[in-house]
Amino acid sequence: MSYTATFDNGYTISTDNAKMDADIIHAYLHTSYWAEGIPRGVVEKAIENSLCFGIFYKEEQVGFARLVTDKATFAYLADVFILPEHRGKGLSKWMMDIIHAHPGVQGLRRWVLATQDAHGLYEQFGWIRFTEDVASRFMQKHNPGVYKQNS
């Protein structure tokens, strides 16, 4: 079941994966610091298997975020962006409001994300940095060169 919300001046958010513009999402992620070189097929598969939130200006996609979630206990927030020409209009805050209010993710025990430079945005919504005791419980298996290996 998809969800749509409207904002000022012609902006909407949709969770309809069929509306997500893989060309725009791939173009942004392909050059991002967290997904540099990501193949288009990987982007398409990620969209297909995630709860996605697309921001649209009229019919053009201008922002994106996705949740990897079981919709019961856990969510990983990933691939959040607003195209540069649409920044400074409150869209990222609006998107975070919509994501946190989505009925499919209420009552989750834990949400996580990784960010290099947007801590201030997420802290406005109750996100906190891992404390040393919590961070020591988390582990990762990281393959930073995977997109270069598979291209």
| pLDDT tier, 76 (very low <50, low <70, confident <90, very high otherwise) | very high
Residues 100-111 have a mean pLDDT of: 96
Q: Is the pLDDT confidence value at 84 over 70?
A: yes
In this predicted structure, what is the pLDDT of residue 17?
Answer: 96
Measured between alpha carbons, how far is 108 from 72 in angstroms, rounded to an integer? 6
Question: What tens digit of pLDDT does each residue of 109-120 get?
Answer: 999 999 999 999
Give percent helix, percent strand, percent coil of the chain, each to the nearest 5.
Answer: 35, 25, 40
**Average pLDDT of the chain, as a whole number:** 93
Unique residue bearing structure tokens 């990983």: 76
In this predicted structure, what is the pLDDT of residue 148?
Answer: 81
Domains in the chain, please, with CATH?
4-149 (3.40.630.30)
Question: What tens digit of pLDDT does each residue of 53-65 get?
Answer: 999 998 999 999 9
Question: Counting runs of H as helices and runs of E as strands, what totals does the chain give?
Answer: 6, 6
In this predicted structure, what is the pLDDT of residue 150?
Answer: 59
Unique residue bearing structure tokens 């419980």: 137
